[in-house]
């Protein structure tokens, strides 16, 4: 509910009631980190998530606009990895020539995100750092074992997606994501049951990683070995969210059904 609650009641704001803030437009990553170190500051990339939340009542004293940091927009081939800048828009991922060559399955999966307006304005970094259970970016990157490269005031910090390691607290800046090229061949994604559940699988050798979106408070992952009954993957996960939007039993069962289906298809173990 995008309403703002006090003890006395709910107030539904429009964008016209967004709380004032100070705008900082840094010219470098260092400046960005410095500005973000201030109390109650947030980065803003495409802004589509942040504006939505501020409309709902979130307040920031300072917004640090990182959209001008061109070094975070670059995609580069690093041999066994492709590095994609955190400011790359969904649209650039979907249409990028290098990505088409090196990560065609990821590119195809990425094309299913939201809609053209969202894909043009939204960025890779914003998708991940919005920390929404229903967003697809981290589900996909998690099964691929991508490296999320952050810089903090104390230097670079790499988090391997899908390991369950926590994302660093603000004001860490995600600069790029390094994706293992080898993971792409085994990748498949099914979002047909969103917003109840989404499932990504990535096969590598005789194991497959299964990632689940929407069903938990943040994406969850598990692995399954050759010979195991793929449907049993459901039991690897804790109890799913149980509410009138989707029952826990249904969500959990669908993890097995969708994963098994993808593994039986082109991505079979």
Between CA 6 and CA 226 the distance in angstroms is 53
Least distance in angstroms from the C-beta of 266 to another protein? 18
Of the ranges 18-26, 132-140, 158-166, 203-211, which one interacts with ligand FAD (CB under 6 A)? 132-140
By CB under 6 A, the residues from 166 to 225 that bind ligand FAD are: 173-174
Cβ-based neighbours of 165, under 8 Å, separated by 6 or more: 159
Are 269 and 206 in contact by the 8 Å Cβ rule? The answer is yes
- In the three-class reduction of DSSP (H, G, I as helix; E, B as strand; rest coil), residue 146 is classed as coil
Sole residue written with tokens 């049993």:
232
Determine how many CB atoms are found less than 10 A away from the CB of residue 155: 7
Binds ligand FAD by CB under 6 A, chosen from 136, 147, 184, 190: 136
Write the binding mask 41 to 80 for ligand FAD: x where contact by CB under 6 A, - elsewhere: -xxxxxxxxx---------------x--------------
Write the binding mask 122 to 161 for another protein: x where contact by CB under 8 A, - elsewhere: ----------------------------------------
Between CA 18 and CA 56 the distance in angstroms is 8
Between CA 163 and CA 3 the distance in angstroms is 34
Closest residue (Cβ) to ligand FAD? 126
Binds another protein by CB under 8 A, chosen from 55, 81, 191, 220: 55
How many chain residues interact with another protein (CB under 8 A)? 55
For residue 257, the partner it binds in another protein, ligand FAD, none, with Cβ less than 5 to 8 A by kind, is: another protein
Q: How many angstroms from the chain centroid is the CA of residue 135?
A: 6
Instruction: Please report whether residue 264 would count as binding another protein according to CB under 8 A.
Output: no
Which of 39/80 has CB closer to another protein? 39
| Bridge partners of residue 198, in order along the sequence | 213
Assigned token pair, 98 = 């290098």
Instruction: Please report whether residue 254 would count as binding another protein according to CB under 8 A.
Output: yes
Binds another protein by CB under 8 A, chosen from 29, 37, 51, 108: 51
Edge-to-edge strands of the sheet including 75-77?
75-77, 81-85, 173-180, 147-152, 155-160
Instruction: Please report whether residue 11 would count as binding another protein according to CB under 8 A.
Output: yes
Q: How far is CA 133 from CA 85, 104, 136, 142, 235, in A?
A: 22, 25, 8, 13, 20
Of the ranges 17-25, 78-86, 96-104, 218-226, which one interacts with another protein (CB under 8 A)? 17-25
Between CA 220 and CA 95 the distance in angstroms is 28
Residues that bind ligand FAD (CB under 6 A): 42-50, 66, 86, 113-114, 118, 121-123, 125-127, 129-130, 135-137, 173-174
Residues lying near another protein in the complex (CB under 8 A): 1-23, 44, 47-48, 51-52, 54-55, 61, 63, 65, 67, 91, 115-118, 120-121, 192-193, 195-196, 243-247, 250, 254, 257-258, 261
């Amino acid at each position: 509910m995008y309403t703002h609650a006090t003890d006395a009641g709910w107030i539904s704001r429009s964008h016209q009631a967004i709380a004032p803030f100070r705008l900082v437009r840094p010219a470098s990553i260092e400046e960005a980190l410095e500005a973000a170190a201030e109390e109650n500051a947030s980065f803003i990339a495409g802004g589509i998530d942040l504006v939505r939340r501020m409309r709902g009542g979130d307040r920031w004293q300072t917004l640090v606009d990182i959209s001008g940091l061109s070094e975070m927009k670059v995609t580069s081939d690093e041999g066994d990895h492709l590095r994609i800048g955190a400011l790359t828009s969904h649209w650039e991922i979907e249409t990028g020539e290098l990505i088409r060559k090196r990560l065609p399955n990821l590119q195809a999966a990425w094309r299913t995100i939201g809609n053209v307006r969202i894909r043009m304005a939204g960025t890779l970094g914003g998708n991940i750092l919005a920390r929404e259970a229903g967003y697809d970016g981290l589900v996909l990157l998690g099964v691929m074992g991508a490296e999320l490269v952050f810089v903090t005031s104390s230097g670079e910090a790499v988090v391997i997606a899908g390991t369950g390691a926590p994302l660093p607290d603000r004001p860490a800046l995600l600069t790029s994501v390094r994706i293992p090229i080898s993971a792409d061949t085994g990748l498949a994604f099914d979002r047909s049951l969103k917003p109840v559940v989404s499932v990504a699988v990535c096969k590598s050798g005789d194991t497959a990683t299964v990632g689940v979106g929407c069903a938990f408070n943040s994406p969850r992952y598990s692995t399954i070995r050759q010979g195991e009954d793929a449907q049993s993957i459901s039991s690897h996960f804790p109890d799913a969210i149980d509410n009138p939007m989707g029952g826990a039993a249904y969500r959990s069962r669908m993890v097995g059904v969708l994963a098994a289906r993808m593994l039986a298809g082109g991505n079979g173990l």
